[in-house]
Amino acid sequence: MTGVLASVDERTNLAGQNRLEMLLFSLDSQQAYGINVFKIREVIHCPELSEVPGGGGNIRGIAYLRGETVPIIDLGKSIGKAPYDGEGGFVIVTEYNRNIQGFLVNNVDRIVNLNWNDISPPPQALGQEHYLTGVVQLDDTLVDIIDVEKIFAEIATIDTAVSPTVTAAVEVSEFNQITILAVDDSSVARNQVKRSLEDLGFLVETANDGREALEKLQAIETRLGNDFLASYPMVVSDIEMPVMDGYTLAAEIRKQSTLSGLKVILHSSLSGQFNESMVKKVEADKFIAKFNPDELAKEVLHLLEVPRKQ
């Protein structure tokens, strides 16, 4: 399966056009699931796994891959399905949030080329207790796109608090009239960003995807006029989102004279090397790999030119 993964350059060009490639796979049924190819290092038959001392939960074991120790997560069990109980299976080795991990799945199918505009948010009828960031119709098949951020948050505690060292260096009470827009299709990731920015004293509004964010910014700018940038100076956006991705959002902001002065941070679990070139291409101000609250906080303060306490 490794050979089917596209080159970095090819996938970079797709991302810049609001497109992506998605690997389709299955768990304990015929339901199709998808994961962004750019997050994938390789796809392999499940190797021999070592038990995790005191382990359990959703981590099936540890594999030793190319000199690295990689936790293998039972993806079906993680999202409330039956644990994998077959022989073999496949491991999708991924890089998220500065970590490498593998997802154990029943079968892998194929890679499809999609437009983010074709991907819809999960139906509201699902409520909050689900593990999807989007769905897409492919021929006669409905593909569910997994909310990996939520799975990680349930496996390992992620600290969202900004350290006292960072907050003590600025006067956080000065920011209570400044709003930052946080954009992410994962409710878990949105709340992580929201809590970190609120630690600095900022007000935070949220949007689920790039199009919702753009429409919200346009409405706010129309309402506030000349006061817009003073009150809403920054957007912190995920990259991969249904409807409109973060690259396209950044590019659209720069195209519109009334919004072009916004500071734009692209903040994503995608930590591939291509991000720096894409930041320049869409004229965003910074790329930050998820999730380090201090790093995010320091970059926000830097871009907004907040003076440090003397």
pLDDT in tens, 106-139: 999 999 988 888 998 888 777 667 888 889 999 8
How far is residue 11's CA from residue 204's CA, in Å, rounded to a whole number?
Answer: 32
β-bridge pairing 179-183 and 141-146: unpaired
Give the tens place of pLDDT for each residue, 45-82.
Answer: 999 888 877 656 788 999 999 888 999 999 999 998 88
pTM attached to this predicted model: 0.81
Over 90: is that where the pLDDT of 219 sits?
Answer: yes
Per-residue pLDDT, 224: 95
| DSSP calls for 220-276 | HHHHHGGGHHHHS-EEEE-S--SSS-HHHHHHHHHHSTTTTTSEEEEEES---THHH
More confident residue, 283 or 173: 283
Per-residue pLDDT, 277: 74
Over 70: is that where the pLDDT of 93 sits?
Answer: yes
Q: Which residues pair with 288 in a beta bridge?
A: 267
Over 50: is that where the pLDDT of 142 sits?
Answer: yes
How far is residue 144's CA from residue 134's CA, in Å, rounded to a whole number?
Answer: 6
Give the tens place of pLDDT for each residue, 179-198.
Answer: 999 999 888 889 999 999 99
Burial of 98 (0-12, 13-18, 19+ CB in 10 A): exposed
Tokens of 294: 């201090």
How far is residue 269's CA from residue 265's CA, in Å, rounded to a whole number?
Answer: 13
The 19-26 sheet, strands edge to edge: 107-115, 19-26, 32-36, 141-146, 132-138
Compute the average pLDDT of residues 81-105.
85
Over 90: is that where the pLDDT of 216 sits?
Answer: yes
For residues 208-219, one letter each, b for 16 or more C-beta atoms within 10 angstroms of the residue's C-beta and e for the rest, the string is bbbbbbbebbee
